[in-house]
């Protein structure tokens, strides 16, 4: 399912507040895959990310009467997932990464070796690498903006920073990515 628009999420939030299970199910189905990917960007484990998102929706249902119509429900969900993911990392700091994540993260390199001529695949892999090398907060703001579609105010709520700081992180990330792209282009086309 495509990412629901803000009006649809607000509607579901109002209905969930009234204990509408159908609206809750619709929100869950629409947001679950993106939230799992977001959690996995922290945990590096798909199974733990799925558990975190499941717990997030349990929390939402338990606190449904407290849903604030003046606050973005999408940002609220991302904030819960972020906080629970960080707690997971803290609690599992000494555990090794799962083979499931290793398999997921190794897939782009397989694509590169299978299709060395495919420049878009190579460039896509480079961008993923460059994004992963950004400072943590820049990377988080950039991913929430560009991959999750959150606006600056929603990102500010998720990251517990001001919208201006979000903007600064995104501008800095874009500047670094642009510099790396130009460097890559100059190396590719001497």
115-188 CATH, one of 1.10.10.10, 1.10.560.10, 1.10.287.130, 1.10.443.10: 1.10.10.10
Q: Chain-wide mean pLDDT for the chain? A: 83
pLDDT in tens, 127-172: 888 998 999 999 999 989 888 888 899 899 999 999 999 999 999 9
Q: In degrees rounded to 5, what are phi and psi of residue 72?
A: -65, 120
Cα separation, 11 vs 185, whole angstroms: 46
Portion of the chain with pLDDT greater than 90, in percent: 48
The pLDDT confidence band at residue 126, using thresholds 50, 70 and 90, is: confident
With a pLDDT cut of 70, the percent of the chain lying above it is 83
If one compares 51 and 97, the residue with the highest pLDDT of the two is: 51
Assign 77 a pLDDT band (cuts: 50, 70, 90).
very high
CATH architecture classification, 6-91: Orthogonal Bundle (1.10)
Q: Model's pTM, two decimal places?
A: 0.65
pLDDT bracket for residue 17 (50, 70, 90) = very high
User: What contacts 115, CB < 8 A, 6 or more positions away?
Assistant: 121
Q: Does position 18 have pLDDT exceeding 80, yes or no?
A: yes
Q: What is the pLDDT of residue 90?
A: 80
Describe the crossing of helices 73-91 and 46-62 by its angle, rounded to 10 degrees. Answer: 130
Which burial class, exposed, middle or buried, applies to 59 when counting CB atoms under 10 A from its CB (0-12, 13-18, 19+)?
middle
Domain ranges of the chain: 6-91, 115-188
Q: Which residues contact 14 (CB under 8 A, 6 or more apart)?
A: 67, 69
Which segment of 28-32, 41-45, 111-115, 178-182 scores lowest on mean pLDDT?
111-115
What pLDDT shows up at residue 101?
A: 38
Burial (CB < 10 A; 0-12, 13-18, 19+), residue 13, is buried
pLDDT, tens only, 107-124: 444 444 444 445 677 877
Higher pLDDT pick, 91 / 75: 75
């Amino acid at each position: 399912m495509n990412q629901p628009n803000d009006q649809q999420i607000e509607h579901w939030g109002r209905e969930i507040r009234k204990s509408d299970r159908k609206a809750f199910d619709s929100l869950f189905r629409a947001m679950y895959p993106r939230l799992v990917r977001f959690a996995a960007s922290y945990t590096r484990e798909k199974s733990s990310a799925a558990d975190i998102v499941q717990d997030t929706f349990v929390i939402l249902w338990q606190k449904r009467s407290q849903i604030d119509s003046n606050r973005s429900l999408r940002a609220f969900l991302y904030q819960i997932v972020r906080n629970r993911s960080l707690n997971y990392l803290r609690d599992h700091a000494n555990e090794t990464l799962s083979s499931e994540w290793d398999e997921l993260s190794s897939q782009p390199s397989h694509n590169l070796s299978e299709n060395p001529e495919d420049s878009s695949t190579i460039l896509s892999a480079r961008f993923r690498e460059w994004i992963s090398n950004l400072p943590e907060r820049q990377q988080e703001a950039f991913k929430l903006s560009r991959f999750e579609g959150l606006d600056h105010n929603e990102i500010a709520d998720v990251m517990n920073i001001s919208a201006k700081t979000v903007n600064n992180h995104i501008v800095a990330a874009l500047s670094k990515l642009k510099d790396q792209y130009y460097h890559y282009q100059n190396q590719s086309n001497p």
